[in-house]
Structure 1
Amino acid sequence: MIEANHVGWKVGGARILEDVSLTVGAGELLGIIGPNGAGKSSLVNILSGVIRPSSGRITLQDRDVTRASATRRARLGLSRSFQTSALFDGLSAGENVRLAIQASGPAPFSPFRRAGAASGARTEDLLERVRMPGRATTLARDLSHGDRRKLELAMALASEPKALLLDEPMAGVSAEDVDGLAEIIGEVRDSGVAVAMVEHHMHVVLGLADRVAVLHHGQLLATGSPSEVTRDELVQQAYLGEAL
């Protein structure tokens, strides 16, 4: 579903990513880990079209999207979340989701288009999917941080994506909310969506991921199953410390 081939990115004379190649298949969750500054968020931005790589090629369902905009990639079935919350705080949870649904349709913000009953039912379905039933009228600003993350996930799923990029979905989430979010993300993967997730909670990555990619100084240090990666001596030295 998603493939990066020999991707590199330079800013001025600084090389942020170098020769990174990885794939994510339908119904697979790829965990992307590494120390701060390894290039994880930069890779997500390149995969989603927020920034363009200096070298290499990005494909989505075997279609070359290297030079395609983020909007074009979204239309082709790619969705993402961001490291920091990106909600309309003055709108309700339901209104945030309805905007995401409308944005994924034809003529999304035409003044002549009105949200119908189907949109309302879809909104409720998405909120239930992320364990937020009955919260449609709650203002986004009044939600707990964990529920804000769930709402962002509902918005990312509004377009019924085939591929989903998650940039630290557990960032700032309380310990009691982490497992619930992990369960939702696992269900998304199990529904057939290709998921690539940057995350620092190692127990989440090791518990959810089918494969793990480790970035270090902008390069791909290792890729493999969670057990293979945690046994890798280079990974232990660079990131994990003692063997897990």
Structure 2
Amino acid sequence: MSDAHGAARLTARGVVRRYGGIEAVGGVDLVALPGRITALIGPNGAGKSTLFDCLAGTARPDAGRVLLGGRDVTRLSAHRRVRLGLARTFQQIAVFPTLTVADNVRVGAEQQNRRAVRPGRADSRAAAERTTRALRLFGLQEVAAEPAGAQPTGVLRLVELARALAGGPRVLLLDEPAAGLDAAQTARLVSVLRGLAERGMALLLVEHDAELVAELADSVYAMAEGRMVAAGPTADVLADPRVSRAWGGVA
């Protein structure tokens, strides 16, 4: 598919990833659709982060395929995938501590300039505008000029999210986006993610908070020991006894 919605579809087909003799991800199928929030859940060690790495390009599957908007990107680097419209955040916050909050977000905004054949002044102005919008969206204007390294964990989580969003992705992978956020920050996150989905973005998130998954996700994939144990509408998956057994704490 070549239209905007097709470009926002992320698909994993039979993805396998091994480390030595251990199969961390064993033949996984997954689809993150445009305009929807998809959650990936499971206990620690289930293979969620490894699958994320395969989807984002920081790890290459030993078998299977990864498709972005119908294009096979299995062998493309993470940087190439970013330029095609895929962005991610990390479980361990990754920011540039000596740069200001605004400059951290600007790094993400510059990704669109790198997609241009000959970036010019108009591209630079557009990057500045994307930076400003992302800062405003996450309520970061008041700390924009401060060093990122001086910010608390919750603010840094929002900085990382703003940076990813400033790049104008079609698909956004979020690894535990609510970790370290207080109640007000979590409410803002929920509002932002819903708004992105409404505008046609495909969102895939790893999350351990069952209540947040129930509130946010349209559909859920549940992993255990490197394999999918359930997939479907959120309420159905969270009520599945196999998921309850594998993922402690599901009501």
Deviation at 1:116, TM superposition (A): 4.6
CA distance in 1, matches of 2:72, 2:194: 28
CA distance in 2, matches of 1:194, 1:153: 15
List gaps (5 residues or longer) in structure 2: 1-8
AA matched with 1:230: L
CA contact (8 A) 1:223 1:229 kept: yes
Paired position in structure 1 for 2:178: 170
AA matched with 1:88: F
AA matched with 1:239: W
Deviation at 1:241, TM superposition (A): 5.5
AA matched with 1:202: A
Paired position in structure 2 for 1:69: 77
Tell me which of 148, 153, 159 is aligned to 1:140. 148
Deviates more, 1:215-224 or 1:87-96: 87-96
Partner of 1:52, secondary structure, is coil
CA contact (8 A) 1:8 1:54 kept: yes
Tell me which of 217, 226, 230 is aligned to 2:234. 226
Alignment of 1:43-82 (within 5 A): 43-82=51-90
CA distance in 1, matches of 2:97, 2:164: 17
Paired position in structure 2 for 1:131: 139
TM-score, normalised via structure 2 length: 0.89
Partner of 1:68, secondary structure, is coil
For this pair of structures, how many residues does the alignment match? Answer: 241
AA matched with 2:230: A
AA matched with 1:74: V
Alignment of 1:27-106 (within 5 A): 27-106=35-114
Kindly tell me: are residues 107 and 10 of structure 1, through their superposed partners in 2, closer, same or farther at Cα, counting changes over 3 Å? closer
Paired position in structure 2 for 1:209: 217
Deviates more, 1:98-107 or 1:59-68: 98-107
Paired position in structure 2 for 1:2: 10
Deviation at 1:113, TM superposition (A): 8.1
Q: Deviations over 1:190-233 (max 9, x none)?
A: 22110000011111111000000000000000001111012212
CA contact (8 A) 1:5 1:21 kept: yes
CA contact (8 A) 2:113 2:127 kept: no
> CA RMSD of the aligned region, Å?
2.1
Percent sequence identity over aligned pairs: 37
CA contact (8 A) 2:40 2:204 kept: yes
Paired position in structure 2 for 1:15: 23
CA contact (8 A) 2:83 2:114 kept: no
Kindly tell me: are residues 52 and 107 of structure 1, through their superposed partners in 2, closer, same or farther at Cα, counting changes over 3 Å? closer
CA distance in 1, matches of 2:157, 2:75: 30
CA distance in 2, matches of 1:179, 1:90: 28
